[in-house]
Amino acid sequence: MALRAVARVNLAAIERNVAAMRSRLAAGVGLCAVVKADGYGHGAAPVARAALAGGANRLAVATAAEAVALRAAGVMAPVLVMGALSGDELADVLEAGAEVTAWTPEFIAALERAAPRQPLGVHVKLDSGMGRLGTRREREALEVAARVAAADASLRLAGAMTHFASAGEDPEFVNVQLARFEPFVERLRARWGRVVAHAANSAATLTEPRSHFDFVRCGIAIYGCDPMNVNPADWGLEPALELGSYVAAVKPAEPGDTVGYGRTFTAAEATTIATVPIGYGDGVRRALSNNCDVLVGETRYPLVGTVSMDNITLDLGRPTDVVVGDPVTLIGGAHGQRITAEDLARRIGTISYEVVCGISDRVPRLYHRDGAPA
């Protein structure tokens, strides 16, 4: 009861997940651990160290600030910033010694003006079908690569990349994207030698070996979530995060009594209501109101009433042996009773990524290795 809400992160599980993903790769293919969004809500620096210990040989983030934070935490492995960067952020990238993603000549000119003290690694991005960052025009991507290659003193052509739009849902479109990306890589290599290529996310790493190239970029899978949003165990993955709280109050409810904001739950018969001090301010989505189960000990109970900022309520029935102080698990579990991030995601029509990334900063992360303090 010392902590009203806590996320426990098993770093040993992250190591094993990285090793499991690496076991799917051919010899010589590397693994880049994606630790953006504070390690998908798990904590970027501890996750990065665990991923590297598990066999990752590089890291990726989305922003310059995320790269700087890794360096400040003492994580010195190669880091790729995959997101868009403004001119004001280039100094941070240079400070962090990170590599960057580029797709326009104008951005290359900005990099040159930043005057890096040593060659800055640049990964040229072809938009093969995601429709967001990157250029759709192969000619422009080749021009960008040529400008990088020509700037020997300040820039280095470090890689060619693309991003799959639907590797977990539409394998045919993966083939379409590969048919656009592979010729681009071949043309780069014909002109500048062996250029590192990378494309695969977690889903493609699991399902399409042809997409692995020189290294894969694994995000959600290293945290033990299923990129197909079904069941991590299907892929030999272990969820690394458990989200818990405790029973703060237990009170009887009579037929007709209501619970919570908006009175969205009315007791149909005599029952018992438990209040648990965790809510949407901690990342428990309001859409889970009257729409999920949680574990008290090893027993499932329905969440009833509206999820509020700081509390949820459970219907325990009557009689009940639940008492104040009993542990509550919202994600996690054992002994055949487990609630996964995918379970919660399906309840509200989203994906496990959003569930774990949405756990707020006011929930402390406690790190362990199979139960032993990390």
- Residue whose C-alpha is closest to residue 354's, from 167, 233, 219, 168: 219
Tokens describing residue 272: 């018992």
Q: Indicate the SS3 state at residue 271.
A: strand
Of 19, 55, 61, 54, nearest in space to 40 by CA: 61
DSSP-derived 3-state class of residue 213: coil
Preceding amide of 319 cis, omega within 30 = yes
**Of these residues, 36, 125, 353, 367, which one is catalytic?**
36
Give the span between the Cα atoms of 309 and 26, in whole angstroms: 47
Residue with tokens 């499932």: 300
Tell me the H-state helices in 153-226: 171-192, 202-207
Residue 59 and residue 82 in contact, taking contact as beta carbons nearer than 8 Å = no
User: How many CA within 13 A on the CB side of residue 265?
Assistant: 24
CA–CA dist 314, 316 (Å, integer): 6
Q: Indicate if 246 belongs to the active site.
A: no
Contacts with 154 (C-beta within 8 Å, 6 or more apart), sequence order: 111, 112, 115, 116, 119, 120
For 72, other C-beta atoms within 10 Å of its C-beta total 11
Total residues found in the chain within this entry: 374
CB atoms within 10 A of CB 62: 16
Catalytic residue (choose from 125, 246, 261, 301): 261
DSSP character at residue 135: B
Half-sphere exposure of 322 (CA within 13 A, CB side): 30
Residue indicated by tokens 């003492």: 74
Report how far residue 25's alpha carbon sits from residue 35's, in angstroms, rounded to the nearest whole number.
20
36 is catalytic: yes
Enzyme catalytic residues: 36, 261
